[in-house]
Amino acid sequence: MSLSNLDTIHMQVMWNRLISVVEEQAMALIRTAFSTSVREAGDLSAGIFDKRGRMLAQAVTGTPGHVNTMAEAVEHFMNDIGVERMYEGDVYLTNDPWKGTGHLHDFTVVSPSFHNGELIGYFASTAHVVDIGGRGFGPDSREIYEEGLFVPIMKLIERGEVNRDLVNILRNNVREADKVVGDLYALASCNETGHKRLIEMLKEFELKDVEGIGEFILARSREATLERIAALPKQTQTNEMTLDGYDTPVKLNVTLTVSDDHLLADFAGTSPSSPFGINVPLLYAKAYACYGLKCIIAPEVPNNAASLEPFRVQAPEGCILNAQRPSPVAVRHVLGHFVPDLVLGALNKILPNRVPAEGAGALWNLHVSARAAQEGSGLKGSEILMFNSGGTGARAELDGLSATAFPSGVHAMSVEATEQVGPIVVWRKEMRSGSGGAGQYRGGLGQIVEIGPREGYQFRFNAMFDRIDHPASGRSGGKEGAAGQVTLSDGTRMKGKGTQFVAEHERVTLSLPGGGGVGAPAQRDREALLRDIRNEYISEAQLRDDYGLTLDALTASNPQ
C-alpha cells in the first residue's frame, strides 16, 4: 500500500479513532455489567474485526487472556453460524473453552456489523460471569461436564428477537441468575455501542466499510512486528518451570526458536494433562505466550491480527498446556498466567538484561459461596469473587511492582465493592513486608488479605493458588520471592487448591507470594535500602540476612 504523507496521516487519524471506538465499547460494558469482576476489575475484552474475522483493534481495557483468544474466536463464529445466516440485529454467544477463552465462566459475544445493508465486520466482547452452575469456579471437577453449563456457539438474539429459551435455560442452571443474564445483555449492549460509534465514524470520513483502513492497520502492524523480529539473534533456547499443580508438581517446558519472520514457542516436554481442572486449552496458552513475547519484542505495536501472527505456538495434544475436551479447565488461568514468565525465561537467554525475574504469576482468585450457618435462619446466600495479586519480578533496571496483576492486568477489587455484594468481611489488606526477593533490584511485594463470613454465615471457598511450594525465581544473582501461604485464624495451614470451608467466626488469611529479585543484593543502592526499611518493605532481619548490613551501618552511610 503506497500512500502519500498526507494520506498516511489521514489513515493514522482513522486508526486512532477506531481504537477510541473499541475503548468506548469496553467502557459501555464496564458501566452496564452486573459482576464486580467486570465493573471493578476490568476482567473483559472488546474489539472490532473485519468481515474476514481478523481483529483490527482492541480496547486498551482488558486482559491478554481474553483479547488474544478472542482474536481467534470470531472465525469460529463465522464457521459455526454461517455468514449466510447472519442478519442485522443478530447477537451470538458461546462459553466453549476451545472456541472462546479457555473456560466456561467466560462468555464471548459476537455481533455482526452492517452498513447500508452490507456486512462490513464484527464487534466482539468477553467477560467473566460470577457463576455458570456445576461445581462452581474451582479446580475440583474431573470433566468439563461437571464444571457448569456449556453453551455452544449459537444465537442469543436473531434479528432483534431475544432467544427466550436460551435465557430460561441459563437462569435455571446458575446460582446468580440476574447477574449472569445481566452480564450477557451488557456484552450485547457494548457491541451495539461499538457498532453505533463505527457507523458515525464511517459517515464522518465518508467510508462505506473498514476494508481500506483495515488493510492499512494490518500491513503497518505486520511490517513493524517483523522488523523487530528480524533484529533478534537467530537462536533456539529452552526454559522450564516447576509449579505446585493440584496435588503433584507440574513442569512447564518451552523451546523458543527465533526465525527471520516469526518466533515459535514449542511446549513439548510439558507435563501431561491433570485429572483436575487446572488444565489449559492451547488457545489460552498461546494468548499468554504471545503477550509475554510481545511485551519485550514489540510492545509499542498495537495488538491486532497482523501483530500477533508472527508469534506462533505449538504443544503436544494432551499436555497440560494443550488439554483436549472433555478435560476440566475451570481454573485454566492458574497455569496459563505462568506462560509469560516461562517464555520470557527462554527469551532472556537470547536477549540478556531485558527480561524481568519471575513473579507471583497467577492471580489468587477467591470464589466464595456464602451460606447461612443455621438452616431456617432466612439469611440469603450469595456468590462472591475476589481478585488478589502478588508481586511482579524485578525488572532489568527497576524494582518489581507490588500487588500488581501481571500478566492478567486486571484491577484489584476494592474492599467496599467486595463487601457490598455478599456477607463477607475483609478484616485486613496490606502489603506483605519482606516478600519481595532481594537483589540489586528488589522483587515486588505480595499482600496479606484476611477475610471471614459475617455474623450468621459460613462459607466454602474454592482455592486456586500457586507458588506455595515453588516461589518465584530471581535472575542474575537475585533471590527468590517469598512463597505464598493460606492459613485459618487458628494457624491451620490450608491447601492451595480445592474446596475448603470457613466456619462462622473463623477467618482465613492469604499471604500472597512476592516476585524474584534481579542482580546481586550487595549491589543494591543504599538509599533504596533505606527507603525499603522506612516503608517497611523489608525488615531489619532481612536487611542483615539478605543484604549483609545492619541498620546502624546503613543509616551511618546515608545520613539524613
- Give the whole-angstrom CA distance, residue 260 versus residue 253: 23
- Give the whole-angstrom CA distance, residue 371 versus residue 379: 8
- Give the whole-angstrom CA distance, residue 110 versus residue 421: 29
Q: How confident is the model at residue 106 (pLDDT cuts 50, 70, 90)?
A: very high
Burial category of 82 from C-beta neighbours within 10 Å (exposed 0-12, middle 13-18, buried 19 and up)? exposed
Check pLDDT > 90 for residue 522.
yes
Q: Say whether the peptide bond before residue 521 is cis (omega within 30 degrees of 0).
A: no
457 DSSP β-pair partners: 372
Beta strands in 432-477 (DSSP E): 447-453, 457-464
Kindly state the DSSP code that residue 137 receives in the 8-state scheme. S
- Give the whole-angstrom CA distance, residue 429 versus residue 75: 43
390 DSSP β-pair partners: none
* Rounded alpha-carbon distances, angstroms, from residue 148 to 32, 110, 151: 24, 21, 10
Q: Which residues contact 383 (CB under 8 A, 6 or more apart)?
A: 130, 131, 136, 175, 176, 367, 368, 369, 370, 422
Check pLDDT > 90 for residue 215.
yes
Specify the higher pLDDT residue, 378 or 475.
475
Give me the half-sphere count of Cα atoms (radius 13 Å) on the Cβ side of residue 123: 31
- Give the whole-angstrom CA distance, residue 79 versus residue 209: 22
Radius of gyration of the chain (CA): 24
Residue 57: alpha-carbon gap to chain centroid: 18
- Give the whole-angstrom CA distance, residue 404 versus residue 531: 20
Written as nine digits, the cell of 106 is 467466560
pLDDT digits (tens, 9 = 90+) for 450-474: 999 999 999 999 999 999 999 999 9
pTM above 0.75, yes or no: yes
385 with 37: CB under 8 angstroms?
A: yes
* Rounded alpha-carbon distances, angstroms, from residue 131 to 41, 122, 174, 183, 364: 16, 27, 6, 11, 17
- Give the whole-angstrom CA distance, residue 491 versus residue 338: 29
- Give the whole-angstrom CA distance, residue 190 versus residue 46: 8
Tell me which long-range contacts 231-235 makes (C-beta under 8 A, separation of at least 24). 232/258, 232/263, 232/297, 232/350, 232/351, 233/258, 233/350, 233/351, 234/258, 234/259, 234/260, 235/349, 235/350
Q: According to the model, what pLDDT value does residue 421 have? A: 87
Give backbone dihedrals phi and psi of 306, rounded to 5 degrees, phi first. Answer: -75, -35
Check pLDDT > 90 for residue 1.
no
Q: How confident is the model at residue 346 (pLDDT cuts 50, 70, 90)?
A: very high
Residue ranges per domain, the chain?
Answer: 5-222, 356-524
Check pLDDT > 70 for residue 560.
no
Indicate the pairing of strand 154-158 with strand 161-162: antiparallel
User: DSSP readout, 473-508?
Assistant: P-BTTPPPPPPPEEEETTS-B--SEEEEEE-TT--E
Specify the higher pLDDT residue, 381 or 434.
434
Mean pLDDT of 391-407: 96
pLDDT digits (tens, 9 = 90+) for 59-103: 988 888 888 898 899 999 999 999 999 999 999 999 999 999 999
Give backbone dihedrals phi and psi of 427, rounded to 5 degrees, phi first. Answer: -80, -30
Mean pLDDT of 320-341: 97
Q: According to the model, what pLDDT value does residue 2 have? A: 58
- Give the whole-angstrom CA distance, residue 26 versus residue 19: 11
Q: How confident is the model at residue 375 (pLDDT cuts 50, 70, 90)?
A: confident
At which residue does the C-alpha cell 503477550 appear? Answer: 291
- Give the whole-angstrom CA distance, residue 12 versus residue 6: 10
Other residues' Cβ atoms within 10 Å of the Cβ of residue 505: 11
Mean pLDDT of 333-354: 96
CB environment 7-43: b (16+ within 10 A), e (fewer):
eeeebeebbebbbebbbbbbebbbebbbbbbbbbbbb
Written as nine digits, the cell of 135 is 461445581
Mean pLDDT of 534-548: 94
Q: According to the model, what pLDDT value does residue 559 have? A: 62
pLDDT digits (tens, 9 = 90+) for 15-25: 999 999 999 99
**SS3 state of residue 463:** strand
